[in-house]
Structure 1
Amino acid sequence: MNSALLQYYEAIEQASADMLLAARAGNWDAVVKLEGACALLISQLKHAATKQALDTEEAQLKSRIMQRILINDAEIRQLAEPWLEDLDGILAGKPKSVH
């Protein structure tokens, strides 16, 4: 049981995990690149989902995959917060303070 839809979810989960690794390393360029890959996968998934449905067992697996993606996303957001604050300051013309 590895339907095409589940393959999309698994690919999105892998991209999410890769994004988290890049965020942990402070490689925000890679995070942005992987985010674009995720957006493409999500678009393809939406299209494929109109032609195929998941059975009960697959839907349960999808749910577990989605939970892992959300956990990854939450940590990425937490790691990005200081970087985004610095970027906001730079864009506003404020010098970066040293702590």
Structure 2
Amino acid sequence: MTAARDVIAEYEQLLLRSTQMLGLAREGDWARLVEEESAYVVAVETLKHSDANGSLDARGMTRKAEVLERILEQDVETRRRLEARREELSELIGGNRRQLNANRAYRAGSAMAVPIGQGRK
């Protein structure tokens, strides 16, 4: 049953990573969240292989289900916060584009203006 305990331990480690990711999303630490997500993906891939080779008893299956449920709950909140951040960035980019277009229009209008004293004679 050591292999089964190892698999459950890996699921619990995955839960810890999920908890860290949610904390980073709540803090708005997007750079560290991306780094943690990369490590999370690697951990998921490792767990896939471990879980395929191990067999869990009823108690292990119950614990696995509990951990997965908690991971999914955290994932929903993390994704919701990421979507909010994406919308925030989209608004900022849109504002920057409008400002850039206004600056271009102003410069184009300034270039077409005739300087005072240099009008028609």
Count of paired positions: 95
Q: What do the CA deviations read for 1:2-58 (whole angstroms, capped 9, x no partner)?
A: 711111100110000000111000001111111111111111111112221111100
Query: Quick one: distance in 1 between partners of 2:46 and 2:90?
Result: 33
Match of residue 39 from structure 1: 41
Instruction: Give the TM-score of the pair, scaled to structure 2.
Output: 0.70
Give 1:76's match in structure 2, choosing from 71, 75, 78.
78
Match of residue 66 from structure 1: 68
Identify, as 1 or 2, the structure richer in helix: 2
Name structure 2 gaps, 5 residues minimum. Answer: 99-121
Most deviating of 76-85 and 1-10: 1-10
Structure 1 stretches of 4+ with a deviation exceeding 4 A read none
Q: What do the CA deviations read for 1:42-96 (whole angstroms, capped 9, x no partner)?
A: 1111111222111110000010101111111111112112211234456xx5226
Match of residue 20 from structure 1: 22
Name structure 1 gaps, 5 residues minimum. Answer: none
Q: Whose Rg is larger?
A: 2
Match of residue 12 from structure 2: 10
Instruction: Give the TM-score of the pair, scaled to structure 1.
Output: 0.84
Query: Quick one: distance in 2 between partners of 1:6 and 1:39?
Result: 17
Q: RMSD of the TM alignment (CA)?
A: 2.1
Match of residue 117 from structure 2: none
Query: Quick one: distance in 2 between partners of 1:11 and 1:55?
Result: 19
Query: Quick one: distance in 2 between partners of 1:55 and 1:66?
Result: 16
Match of residue 50 from structure 1: 52
The percent identity for this pair of structures is: 29
